[in-house]
Structure 1
């Protein structure tokens, strides 16, 4: 087996690995794989250009097929941020809409949890699909209500650990786990839930609400940023801006 054949095999296996990993965990946070894809891309180009064997143009194209997918899927966050900085928003969907009744239920749930210092992590899915995290969670798929949402986070219940994901008007799943942010510049007051909330904001455009079990403070995370200890009025402004309440 020559070097070209080995490289082709490794490239395809890596592409299949990314597809599998995408359905399970967040692959974008694995820096080693990002470095590997750069090496694979460069090596593929060199071999395709300089390979002296009897290789037709069609074969060269087929061999190179996995590389665009591997590059885009590995660097999707960086690509999205670059497009945003360039002012290219053609691929960005309009904000998710929720009605006032749903927003009120969510607000009342947060108030209930905050006053009783019950820790919670609540994520509202927006434009970026959270399926890779949902697939590893416990599905609920029930209409959102204050009673159901607050009961999930009661410490004695089996579902309290992890996050809840809300999609549309429903509580889609519970017991969801996010990768913690790798940032080292965060205050010591940020606990595990806060770091997980920042982590998911680094990988999606979701809006995440954190209730601290130590202080009862409510924090909001979106677009890689967290606002700590927000008021009810400020939280409502986040809903209006990012969830387009009507």
Structure 2
């Protein structure tokens, strides 16, 4: 066809680049509050065009000033979403620890959570994956300690000075304790869940981290990942889910007959 004689590879790359940008913008709008705001902007644009066609100078001038201020307003409105998107785009790829080390770490986390669940000791354990969590953590106490059952239980003991907050694990080390996490603003969280569950969901929404939550009121074990909450996990299901999310495929293969148990039934009344 003759049209291809006038199109170079640079033009194709240019078209693909524009398509990627448009797709990214539309996807960003879809997963945020942008669709509602976009509808409002389209309505304002229509009114502005009509004002220009009818030569309404005062109205046209107001709308011209509005666009200048509007750009700064959009940055303020979308600040949380922009920060989240940029942090994910800029996340560093890290060297993962060996499967055997991760399996031992998971085993220790499960044992500690099982102990605390039986005694209704509240806990929030965040496991960092690819995305660096430091930019979104606040008030942390640096530890750099080996992950052990005894230390995890001690950190969340109600009488311990560091129990109020999250423990963050980097690789096979407990990096921080008593961390303040961003809270989820999702309206879908059941009212029976408090700050600890909102913080676990919040960090899973802001990053690719996995958050293990033990309820102080009921002893229920939950895992927040990707903005979703897996509830009512027994120790075996907790181990399966953590192995799956951390990509410990070799260890996970030993539990394939029970893989369907990764989706436990909902609690009564939920």
**Cα deviation code 1:95-118 (max 9, x no counterpart):** 954432222111111111111100
**Cα deviation code 1:14-68 (max 9, x no counterpart):** xxxxxxxxxxxxxxxxx9xxx9xxxxxx749x9xxxxxxxxxxxxxxxxxxxxxx
Q: Distance in 2 between matches of 1:72 and 1:119?
A: 32
1:75 aligned to 2:75?
no
Q: Distance in 2 between matches of 1:181 and 1:157?
A: 26
Structure 1 match to 2:219: 216
Cα shift at 1:132: 1.9
Q: From the superposition, tell whether residues 156 and 171 of structure 1 become closer, same or farther in structure 2 (CA, over 3 Å).
A: same
**Cα deviation code 1:85-134 (max 9, x no counterpart):** xxxxxx89589544322221111111111111000000000111011244
Contact 2:200/2:213 (8 A) holds in 1 = yes
Contact 1:96/1:243 (8 A) holds in 2 = no
Structure 2 match to 1:185: 188
| Larger RCO of the pair (alpha carbons < 8 Å, separation 6+) | 1
1:136 aligned to 2:143?
no
Structure 2 match to 1:231: 234
Structure 2 segments unaligned to the other structure (5+ residues): 1-32, 38-66, 72-77, 251-270
- Alignment TM-score, normalising by the size of structure 2: 0.58
Q: From the superposition, tell whether residues 96 and 236 of structure 1 become closer, same or farther in structure 2 (CA, over 3 Å).
A: farther
Structure 2 match to 1:202: 205
Contact 1:109/1:146 (8 A) holds in 2 = yes
Aligned pair partner of 2:110 in 107, 111, 117: 107
Q: From the superposition, tell whether residues 183 and 201 of structure 1 become closer, same or farther in structure 2 (CA, over 3 Å).
A: same
Higher Cα Rg, which structure: 2
Contact 1:143/1:170 (8 A) holds in 2 = yes
Q: From the superposition, tell whether residues 184 and 157 of structure 1 become closer, same or farther in structure 2 (CA, over 3 Å).
A: same
RMSD: 3.3
Q: From the superposition, tell whether residues 117 and 223 of structure 1 become closer, same or farther in structure 2 (CA, over 3 Å).
A: same
Q: From the superposition, tell whether residues 214 and 74 of structure 1 become closer, same or farther in structure 2 (CA, over 3 Å).
A: closer
1:164 aligned to 2:167?
yes
Residue aligned with 1:197, SS: helix
1:151 aligned to 2:154?
yes
Q: Distance in 1 between matches of 2:95 and 2:227?
A: 17
Structure 1 segments unaligned to the other structure (5+ residues): 1-30, 36-41, 47-70, 84-90
Q: Distance in 1 between matches of 2:172 and 2:194?
A: 29
Q: Distance in 2 between matches of 1:184 and 1:134?
A: 23
Q: What is the number of residues matched between the two proteins?
A: 178
Q: From the superposition, tell whether residues 95 and 236 of structure 1 become closer, same or farther in structure 2 (CA, over 3 Å).
A: farther
- Alignment TM-score, normalising by the size of structure 1: 0.63
Q: From the superposition, tell whether residues 96 and 215 of structure 1 become closer, same or farther in structure 2 (CA, over 3 Å).
A: farther
Q: Distance in 2 between matches of 1:115 and 1:131?
A: 31
Contact 2:92/2:131 (8 A) holds in 1 = no
Q: Distance in 2 between matches of 1:131 and 1:227?
A: 25
